[in-house]
Amino acid sequence: MHPTTSMLFFLENLLNLPKVNIRNVIQEGKQAFLILSCQEEEVKCNYCGSLTDELHQTNNVLVRDLSISGQMVYLKVPRRKFYCKDCQRFFTENLEFMEARRKYTVRYEEYIYGRVNVSSVEQVGREESLSWDQVNGIYQRQCEAKKKDWQGVKHLGMDEIAKRKGHQNFVTVLGDIEKGELIEVIDSHQQDKIIEVLMEKELEVREGVEQVSVDMWGGFPKVIEKVFPNAVIVTDRFHVMRAVNEELNKIRKQTRLNVKIKGEKWLLLKNKEDLKEEELEKLELVLKQSARLRKAYEYKESFREIYEKVNEKEEGRLKFTEWLENAKSIYTDVISTIRRNLDSICNYFLSRTTNGAMEGINNRLKLIKRQAYGFMNFDNMRNRFLACFS
């Protein structure tokens, strides 16, 4: 049955395809083929901008569009090639809804890109009757078109995550701390490789970075000094506290307690002001059994108090130096770690910003890895990561 004029008019408004009309609709099972015609007889030259109506040839191409009510929609599009007398060149007419040599409309590729971000290539392929290569090709093109812009990034966070759970194969991730967005993933945790990738960024962009927040891995400062010449290195407060807490927990394990208290580890590691009255009572039962453990706990709290109360870098340096001298009778490993990173630890007091945004980014990346059931290669993983923050 040939569609009525009113039905075609309805479809044209529904699909909202500029510069074309729908001439006919052919239905075959679960597929609908829309036959299009171009509206304009005179078009603008892609090279010089002159108007021309000298049609050279027309080739009909079939393009996949968004489905309607469970029907796969294909557009039969006349691709017209014109000749421009002014610049004496041939050109193909621009159509906003599709790109040259593409088998899908722009909006359909955007749709596939969005679906993959919350699902997987395999699942989207099954639901859309597309092959893995077709879905992945669309996705990779979209990722390339949406590359992250580093312009205006002033506060970076750097961290690492394992490619796969339980493996010691890491990638380096960089985020815009102010926006809480991932902006780069590097397939290495080696200084030279990280430097090589980041040095490809424009000098103006690299010079614009003012702060880089990092954990206490020794390789990051050398990378930052080489790549971001104007950046202050800030050792993240929460990574430092984690190191103190880890040694406190180590002391707990070494202490022989006559009475075991359920949840004693978390009672020791939790901020004291966050403990309820009954938890404080349980904590006291733990601490009264060991003078060394009590001292270690008190030093942990006094270290955290420096972060909470100090506002100036030099005051922070003075307080931390005093703490190091006092706490060395109890703590060992963390003392040398803090001494080695003291200047960058004290840089926290310049702006009191943390790498907390990177923790949020990392948690999201771990979720993406679980949803993807493993990545075929690094490029797929990188694109998937970046896409979810676009």
pLDDT at 172 over 60: yes
Q: How confident is the model at residue 5 (pLDDT cuts 50, 70, 90)?
A: confident
* pLDDT for 77: 97
Q: How confident is the model at residue 14 (pLDDT cuts 50, 70, 90)?
A: confident
DSSP 46: T
* pLDDT for 329: 94
Give the SS3 label for residue 38: strand
* pLDDT for 273: 94
Q: How confident is the model at residue 216 (pLDDT cuts 50, 70, 90)?
A: confident
Q: Cα 94 from chain centroid?
A: 33
DSSP 52: E
Model confidence over 121-164: pLDDT tens digits?
899 999 999 999 999 999 988 887 777 778 889 999 999 888 87
DSSP 307-326: HHH--SHHHHHHHHHHHHHH
CB 341 within 8 A of CB 235: yes
* pLDDT for 167: 59
Please name the residue that has the structure tokens 């009264």. 288
Q: Which of 215, 179, 184, 214 is nearest to 199 (CA)?
A: 184
pLDDT at 234 over 90: yes
Q: How confident is the model at residue 242 (pLDDT cuts 50, 70, 90)?
A: very high
Higher pLDDT, 349 or 101: 349
* pLDDT for 205: 93
Q: How confident is the model at residue 109 (pLDDT cuts 50, 70, 90)?
A: very high
Q: Quote the mean pLDDT of the chain.
A: 91
- Count H helices and E strands in the chain, helices first: 17, 12
CB 213 within 8 A of CB 255: no
Residue range 305-325: mean pLDDT, rounded: 97
Residue range 297-322: mean pLDDT, rounded: 97
CB 283 within 8 A of CB 300: no
The Cα–Cα gap between 342 and 323 comes to: 12
Residue range 17-45: mean pLDDT, rounded: 94
* 358's tokens: 């990177």
